Amino acid sequence: MANERKPMMAANWKMNKLVREAEDYVARLLPRVADLTDDVDVAVFAPFTSLPTVGRMAEDSAIIAGAQNLYFEDSGAYTGEVSAPMIKDVGAGAVIVGHSERRELFGETDETVARKATRALDAGLMPIICVGETKEERDAGGMWDKVSGQVRAVMEALDSPSGDAVVFAYEPIWAIGTGETASPEDAQEAIGQIRGLLGELGGEEFARGVRILYGGSIKPANAADIMAQSDVDGGLVGGASLEADSFAELVEAARDSVSRDRDAS
């Protein structure tokens, strides 16, 4: 890491866990990460049904409760949708926007992602904005076209955000849930490129302050090498976040990278 940005380790539960399971998980996680949250932001992105539980349990702790999606209107005739004020109302402070599963399976476009990110930010929720390419796009040499287009679409919509208000997550789609991880060097290269573009679009101060996570089959065995990359500010984790103990190990890996940087400086 070697920079001033506080790393974030984020659990994306996707469509998993009943309320009781969510409760057990957070009760197990909290004591394991209590001493780590000064150095690492720990976020749990729960389904809407267990979000109030996670939100309530997060209230008296340093972990952040988050939603996995939102709609860009605040209220009205939008059956099945959930708005930013509703998400805040149950104690959440963050929301994932534009996860590749939303884009690929539910037809979200760069435009809807940009509207959602804007609404989250305006409402005081921290958007975790996901970008990433498919295997076909990567193999055809189109990785940067895809990723830079996604980043531009969102940055054009946001109104000069401060670096600490938004988070980006580079998640190559071929690495999500597949067990195939980008090499630490590939993750660094892509995230460094994204930071460069964010500098052009949002200014150098924004680019220095904004956190960019890596996501795609992170697990305790590969987390340290990924976290050691200078532009990687943490991880967005699916499969390996479903057990509290395994997620806590990832938080420890992020904390260890901070400690190594401190020792080295």
Size of the site for ligand PEP (CB under 6 A): 13
Q: Please, what is the minimum distance in Å from the beta carbon of residue 193 to ligand PEP?
A: 19
Residues 167-196 that bind ligand PEP (CB under 6 A): 171, 176-177
3-class SS at 14? coil
User: Which CB sits closer to ligand PEP, 119 or 219?
Assistant: 219
Task: Report the C-alpha gap between 210 and 185 in whole angstroms.
Answer: 20
Binding mask 14-53 for ligand PEP (x = CB under 6 A): ----------------------------------------
Q: One of 101, 133, 137, 171 is an active-site residue; which one?
A: 171
Task: Report the C-alpha gap between 152 and 142 in whole angstroms.
Answer: 16
Please tell me whether residue 93 binds ligand PEP under the rule CB under 6 A: no
Residue 171 annotated as catalytic: yes
User: Which CB sits closer to ligand PEP, 241 or 257?
Assistant: 241
Residue 99 annotated as catalytic: yes
Region binding ligand PEP by CB under 6 A among candidate stretches 33-41, 153-161, 205-213, 232-240? 232-240
Look up residue 137 and give its two tokens. Answer: 């796009």
Please tell me whether residue 237 binds ligand PEP under the rule CB under 6 A: yes
Q: One of 99, 101, 108, 133 is an active-site residue; which one?
A: 99
Token pair 């070697």 in the structure block, residue: 2
- Phi then psi for residue 234, to 5 deg, are 135, -165
Of the candidate residues 12, 53, 112, 150, the single one contacting ligand PEP (CB under 6 A): 12
Please tell me whether residue 222 binds ligand PEP under the rule CB under 6 A: no
How many Cα atoms occupy the beta-carbon half-sphere of 70 within 13 Å?
Answer: 35
Task: Report the C-alpha gap between 185 and 151 in whole angstroms.
Answer: 21
How many Cα atoms occupy the beta-carbon half-sphere of 249 within 13 Å?
Answer: 13
**Number of Cβ within a 10 Å radius of residue 84:** 24
- Phi then psi for residue 18, to 5 deg, are -80, 170
Residues in the site for ligand PEP, rule: CB under 6 A?
12, 171, 176-177, 215-218, 236-240
Which residues are designated catalytic? 99, 171
